[in-house]
Structure 1
Amino acid sequence: MKKFTAALLSAALLVPGIAAAPAMAQPAHHDDRGNRDDRGPHKTVVTQKTTYKSFRKGQKFDRRYARNYQVVDYRKYRNVKAPPRGYHYVRSGNDMLLVGITSGIVASVLAGQFR
């Protein structure tokens, strides 16, 4: 019996995290309406602000950074030629970009096309 008690006592001393973990848990937080908030008082929610950029010829186009992104029908605008096969026009801000569909590389920029 002495050996069992000594083994149990030494195991408890070697692994203190197992016995103390449930006792250290924080209580759930509730707001004024009684809703439960598991995040705790020290955590904050971080949102990313989108930074728009202007694209140049030869750059990789990413629609997440394009302001007013939309695919453009070239036939609705004067002096805009049909795009070559594998390309399409997109809007980024007030610019019309000719972008490769599969590569995403900007082939040309028509600045100030939209007012």
Structure 2
Amino acid sequence: MRKFTAALLAAAIVVPSLAAPAMAQPGKPTQGHSNQGHATPAKKPSQTPHRFKKGEKFDRSRASHYQTVDYRKYRNVKAPPKGYHYVRSGNDLLLVGITSGLVAAVTMNMFH
């Protein structure tokens, strides 16, 4: 049973890595083919970073430059209340509830 489990685990690790080259980016020409005479696809407009508001649910995947902030490094930032912590999203400092994930306060343009 151990050999079967080990073989199954090894196959699960190896198979996705073999399939990755076959799933190359479809819009890009493959090696050996030129793109002469064809129009280049238009670039997607850059997405503006999400600005969180008080009372909104915080989602770290939508936060640009996300990181937990140590309030002691900044002069005008008070210690967070119990159950809250500070995080960075873009240039904004957010006070977020640890268990609820709700934004309690926003200090805009804290980081330049």
Using the size of structure 2 for normalisation, the TM-score is: 0.58
Q: Write the distance in 2 (CA, Å) between the matches of 1:70 and 1:50.
A: 20
**Deviation string for 1:9-33 (max 9, x for gaps)?**
xxxxxxxxxxxxxxxxxxxxxxxxx
Task: Choose the corresponding residue for 1:72, options 69, 72, 94.
Answer: 69
Unaligned runs of 5+ in 2: 1-20, 28-45
> Does the C-alpha gap of structure 1 residues 111 and 51 become closer, same or farther in structure 2, counting only changes over 3 Å?
closer
The runs of 4+ residues in structure 1 deviating greater than 6 Å are none
* 2:49 match: 52
Q: Percent identity over the alignment?
A: 64
CA RMSD of aligned residues (A): 2.3
Task: Choose the corresponding residue for 1:62, options 59, 63, 71.
Answer: 59
**Deviation string for 1:26-82 (max 9, x for gaps)?**
xxxxxxxxxx84x6xxxx59xxx9763100000000000001000000000011110
Unaligned runs of 5+ in 1: 1-35
Q: Which amino acid aligns with 1:99?
A: V
| Equivalent pairs, count | 73
Q: Is the 8 A contact 1:51 1:65 kept in 2?
A: no
